[in-house]
Structure 1
Amino acid sequence: MLRFWFKEFPQYPCDHTDYWRTRLISYALLVTTSYFLILTIINIVTFSDFSLALLDGTGLLFSLGIFAWFRATGNVTVTSWAVTIMVTALILLFIVTSQGYSHSLYWATLVPPFAFFLLGRTSGTGVSTFTFFICALVVYEQMETQQPAFFAFGSLLNVIEVSIAHILLFRFYEQARSSAYDTLAIRNAEILQLAETDKLTGLYNREKLENTLIACLPGVDEQHPLSVMLLDVDYFKKVNDQYGHFEGDKVLQALAKKLKDLMREQDIVARWGGEEFVVLCTNASLETAMQLAQRIREDIAKQVICGHGLTVSVGVAQYVPGDSVESLLDRADVGLYQAKNNGRNSVIAA
């Protein structure tokens, strides 16, 4: 029954801004429908008061009508207004008919949570102001009539019922708030990943590598050396010209995965641009980086990547005191240039 009542709307997934409004609408309609149904039955069976039963039955039909229309259309905005008006009218009717006695005014405190959540700040303020204005008139009437107030069992029930309703409402709002923050954290993580990841290869992009280098340089010393490699795929333009750029993209993706597999766990691989890649080798001297670069060059030369035989040229440089990110990468670029001039498929230290 509840699964039928709480319909999942495809246009309002759990990360949609209106998802929790649809949930509150369903909860509110479930409560009001049950309320009118119970009162209708009690007035007919217990009190034989058919006039009140007709009034409650009308409320029941109105509540079910809103529910049916909401399920059919999924229109959150119109339904939010309908539910807020119905709940507000129901509460004000109870307050006015009881003349504000027996702590019935306490029910008015439920209107702002509904109105602000379903209608937003501006309309919620208007509905809440109107509600409390009516309550103020009721209290003013009490002052004018100067009738003594009697606190019977009904007063206690009103306090208990409204307090329970507040607890349930704010548990619901906390769940909505927590869900919204969790979704925001996920989205922020996704945005951060997109900002620092090369879309084609899934490697770090140029900006992320530069920022990582900036963070690493202050900690470099003789015990913790740092080297970089600048790799370029030889004659890659022929792949694009002969087989098309889509095929070239597939080759770059496969090569990026191959490079990640060949690196040490602490190394960082990034796409520098086009068919160029940079490897940041932490805790690696120039000799260690050269050995690693030679192994990478030899392994790639032996492989067939996406049906293509490839070779790479590599320039290697080690950080020296006074180096900046630009000077370190420039020296690696000089080594790469020399490797290209030496016939490619080679590793040169600079």
Structure 2
Amino acid sequence: MLRFWFKEFPQYPCDHTDYWRTRLISYALLVTTSYFLLLTIINIVTFSNFSLALLDGTGLLFSLGIFAWFRATGNVTVASWAVTIMVTALILLFVTSAKGYSHSLYWATLVPPFAFFLLGRKFGTAVSTFTFFICVLVVYKQMETQQPGYFAFGSLLNVIEVSVAHILLFRFYEQARSSAYNTLAIRNTEILQLAETDKLTGLFNREKLESTLITLLSKVDEQHPLSVMLLDVDHFKKINDQYGHFEGDKVLRVLAKKLQELMREEDVVARWGGEEFVVLCATTSLEKAMQLAQRIREDIAKQVISGHALTISVGVAQYVPSDSLDSLLGRADVGLYQAKNNGRNSVIAA
């Protein structure tokens, strides 16, 4: 039954801004429908009061009508207004009929949570102001008549019922808030990843590489040297010219994955641009970086990358105290240029 009642609207997935409004509308309609149905039965069976039963039955039909229309259209805005008006009218009818006695005024405190959540700040303020204005008039009438207040069992029931309703409402709001916060955190993580990641290869992009390199440079000392590799795919232009850019992109994706597999855990691999890649080798001397670069070059030369035999040229440089970020990468680029001039498929230190 509840699975039928709480319809999932494809246009309002769980991360949509209106998702929780649809849930509150369904909850409110479930409560009001059950309320009117119960009162209709009680007035007919227990009290034989057919006039009140007719009034409650009308409310039942109205609640079911909103529910059926909402399920058919999924119009959150209109349904929000209909539910808010119905809930507000129901509460004010009870408050005015009880003349504010027996703690009936306590029910009016349920209107703002509904109105603000469903209608927003502007109209939520208007509906809440109107509701409390009616409550003020009721209290003013009490002052005029000078009637004594009675605290009977009905007063206790009103306090208990409204308190339970508040707990359930704010439990619902906390669930909505927590869900929205978690969704926002996931989206922020995705946005950060997109900002730091090269779309084609999934490696760090140039901006993330530079920020990581700046961080590593601040930690360099004699015990923690830093070396940089600049890698370039030899004759990559031939692949694009002969097989097309889509095939070239495929080769770069597979090569990027292969480079990640060949690197050590502490190494940072990034796409520099085109068919060029940069590797940051933390706590690595020039000698060890050269050995790593040679091993990578040899391994790539033995592989068939996406159906192509590839070779790479590599320039390697170690940070020295006079280096800046640009000069360190510039020296690695000089080594790469020399490797290209030396016939490619080689590693040169600069």
Q: Same fold (TM over 0.5)?
A: yes
What is aligned with 1:60?
A: 60
CA–CA separation in structure 1 for the residues paired with 2:54 and 2:157 = 25
Q: Give me the whole-angstrom Cα distance separating, in 2, the residues matched to 1:75 and 1:322.
A: 66
Find out whether 1:209 has 2:209 as its counterpart. Answer: yes
1:348 and 1:273 map into 2 onto residues whose CA distance is 20
Q: Does 1:150 align with 2:150?
A: yes
Matches of 1:265 and 1:218, distance apart in 2: 20
Q: Which amino acid aligns with 1:191?
A: I
Q: Which residue of 1 aligns with 2:284?
A: 284
For residues 94-133 of structure 1, what are the structure 2 equivalents within 5 Å?
94-133=94-133
Runs of 4+ that moved beyond 4 A: none
For the residues of structure 1 that align with 2:110 and 2:149, how far apart are their CA atoms?
Answer: 23
The 5 A counterparts of 1:1-350 are 1-350=1-350
Instruction: Supply the distance in 2 between the matched residues of 1:199 and 1:35 (Cα, whole angstroms).
Output: 55
User: Which whole-Å deviations, capped at 9, do the CAs of 1:199-224 have from their partners, x for residues lacking one?
Assistant: 00000000001000101111111111
Could you report, residue by residue, the CA deviation over 1:95-133 in whole angstroms, capped at 9, with x for unpaired residues? 000000101000000000000000000010000000001
Q: Which whole-Å deviations, capped at 9, do the CAs of 1:125-174 have from their partners, x for residues lacking one?
A: 00000000111111111111111111110001101110110011000000
Supply the distance in 1 between the matched residues of 2:286 and 2:150 (Cα, whole angstroms). 91
Tell me, in whole angstroms, the C-alpha distance in 2 between the residues paired with 1:326 and 1:107: 69
Whole-Å separation in 1 of the counterparts to 2:259 and 2:240: 20
SS at match of 1:111: helix
Letter in 2 for 1:65: G
Residues 222-243 of structure 1: CA deviation (Å, up to 9, x unaligned): 1111100000001101100110
Paired with 1:43 and 1:323, the residues of 2 have a C-alpha distance of 89
Structure 1, residues 24-43: CA drift from partner, whole Å, max 9, x if none? 00100000000000000000
- RMSD across aligned positions (CA): 0.5
Gaps of 5+ in 1: none
Distance 2:154 2:322 in 1: 82
Q: TM-score scaled to structure 1, two decimals?
A: 0.99
Cα distance in structure 2, aligned partners of 1:323 and 1:33: 75
Q: Displacement, 1:321?
A: 1.0
| SS of the residue 2:218 aligns to | helix
Q: Give the aligned residue type for 1:161.
A: E
SS in 1 for 2:313: strand
Q: Per the alignment, in what secondary structure is the counterpart of residue 204 of structure 2?
A: coil
